[in-house]
Chain A
Amino acid sequence: MIHPLAWVGWLAAVMATLSAGRNPLHLVLVLLCIALVEAASPPTTERRSTPITPLRFALTVTAISAMLNALSVRYGDTVLLRLPDWLPLLGGAVTLEALVFGALSGLTLSGLFVTFIVAQRSLPTSALVGLIPRAFYPLAVVAAIAITFVPTTLRQARQIREAQAIRGHRLQRLRDWLPLLLPLLVGGLERAFQLAEAMAARGFASAGQPQHATALRASMVTGLAALLAGWLLILAWGQVRAGQLLMLIGGALLVGTLWLVGRRAPRTRYRRTPWASGDTAVLIGAAVAIIAFTLPLPGIDRAVLAYYPYPLLHLPRFDPVLGFATLGLAWPTAVLRGGRSRVVE
């Protein structure tokens, strides 16, 4: 199993590479890495199943995006066919360039979707809740209660439904759902009070959460004000550097304040997820990809990423250094396969 923080790093890297541009060669390389990780990830369980498979979703979105763009954009030199002008919104030339650009947009969106599906499928729910920052521990408790009570609520709904059915109640009209919904809600609220008493008896915030200290609140306000001022500097006066610096300071103040608050909330774990060398490899691979795709480094031609097929479709350029950096995104495949073979042994 890969550590949740390593998954977060991998997600950030994939998002950075996918949003960097629409060069088909680099895009296909990123998608190939995602597909490899998807193939190595654990099989879908009933609980985590999605309404549509990732491959079917990718094919549908890419086809729809290509078709919509080809039918609505009249730009491009390679005319595939001409639709009659009397067709409202659709009439005119359908070009290869518009078709390709639409397909590239669809592929980018599909890549984002599949990436999150893969990470979510590989992480247990407890690990997802564990990713909530410590500063928000009351909300992490809320999330844990909700996730724990979902199966109970489903079971209670079934019991109420059966009890009503024995009394001859049938679900025919919308109003017939009320005798099911209301006992479910009232029963849930009663359970909430029992739970609250149990929590208070164990010392959980029986007199409410302590108010945030004045200094922490002041730091929050300063951070937000710096963000707003920096944004206004960029938008209204075109002072990009100064604005970005101010926004960076504001963001750092906010994150720093949350970190300080988080330090006051000690976290204990029943079972700690160990950090393995594979996690370090995944994180290094993600960091290399993020640095190569976002920072202006010498020896990397990031201009190749901004591929635009109009007005005449042309072959995209390929930067080998960027291509090599992209391969780091495939690291989870090796870690996942290694973990599975250990389990088989």
Chain B
Amino acid sequence: MIQRILSGAIYALSTAIGIAAFLAPFFAPIVQQSAQPQAGAATAPLLLTALVGLCFLALLFEIQGSELSAKSVALLGILVAINSVLRFAEVAIPGPGGFSPIFMLIILTGYVFGGQFGFLMGTMTLLVSGVITGGVGPWLPYQMFAAGWVGLSAPLLRPLIRVLGGEGRRGELLALALFGALWGFAYGAIMNLWFWPFAAGPAQQYWTPGTGLAETLRRYLAFYVLTSLVWDALGAAGNVVLILAFGAPIVRALRRFRDRLGFVYQPEWSEQ
């Protein structure tokens, strides 16, 4: 019981701090105005990076401890290798805008094998493919965290899919495709947030401390529409097309292997 409470606390605290760190530009100015303006502003970028990094490590530690057996380590390794090959192909022949084939498999594995497996699939895909394709940089921890959330959130679709008729129905595929479209935009919007408060440009599109929630949101929206909307729309469309084209047979194959994954040898003497 205590283990469960502590595990839940780690999930809740690390996810809450992570989300708050990503969204800091939207509420930090308001809170600072109510106290000492610009308090600690100079250390803000380092502070946020350290916060995101530590929360990510805590979440990863908790998930790997409860999830990984020999079977899941091997399965995860092979699935990450397949997804890294897809990213390798994407780097060699770049798709239009933000199109990336890696999110299809992250969403589908998260949906079939569960959120913890999906989180690890997202983070490890970005790590391994980054190492292979030369994509290691200061942006990588943020990419890993955001891609992890894609896989972690995929099982949230299950209640909706039950309402739409259950597994194997047309509604399941449509819900997964819609989910892919939403994450196409959300991933881009999240990834903008880590550098947006520290970037320079026209005042009506960039963050300035003390401008208030509504004005900060308006500026971010202007920045997002001008710089990322078309890019992310192509990414979202790519997710939808890939899931509609390949989603159903891949989900069937993954389900077949999920059942085999749950099969465990039980020695006779352990029951005596």
Contact = CB atoms under 8 A, between A and B. Distances in A.
A113 B88 CA distance: 19
Contacts of B34: 236
Given A142-B124, A146-B77, A182-B250, A208 B69 contact: yes
15 contacts: A139-B60, A145-B78, A146-B84, A149-B77, A150-B132, A192-B77, A199-B73, A205-B69, A206-B70, A208-B68, A214-B3, A228-B16, A235-B32, A247-B47, A258-B61
Contacts of B124: 139, 142-143, 146
A224 B50 contact: no
Nearest to B86: A181
B209 to A, nearest CB: 12
Given A50-B134, A150-B88, A240-B40, A220 B62 contact: yes
A105 B200 contact: yes
A235 B31 contact: yes
A344 interface: no
B63 to A, nearest CB: 9
A312 interface: no
B200 A102 contact: yes
A145 B58 contact: no
Residue among A89, A135, A138, A195 with max Cβ neighbours from chain B (10 Å):
A138
Contacts of B94: 51
Given A188-B78, A195-B78, A234-B40, A227 B51 contact: yes
Interface string A112-133: 1100110011000100110000
Interface string B121-138: 000100110011010111
B214 interface: no
A193 B260 contact: yes
Category for how many chain A residues contact B = 35 or more
Interface stretch (A33-41, A171-179, A274-282): A171-179
B245 interface: yes
A189 B71 CA distance: 10
B70 A224 contact: no
B255 to A, nearest CB: 11
A306 B7 CA distance: 44
A225 B65 CA distance: 20
B96 to A, nearest CB: 14
B31 A224 contact: no
Interface in B20-41: 20, 28, 31-32, 34-36, 39-40
Contacts of A120: 131, 134, 136
Given A139-B64, A182-B250, A145 B245 contact: no
Contacts of A243: 40
B10 interface: yes
Interface string A227-256: 110010011111010011001001100110
A207 interface: yes
A5 interface: no
B85 A154 contact: yes
A191 B10 CA distance: 34
B73 A116 contact: no
Interface in B188-246: 199-203, 205, 241, 245-246
Nearest to A73: B202
Contacts of A152: 81
B36 to A, nearest CB: 3
Given A150-B81, A205-B73, A235-B31, A185 B36 contact: no
A177 B89 CA distance: 13
A48 interface: yes
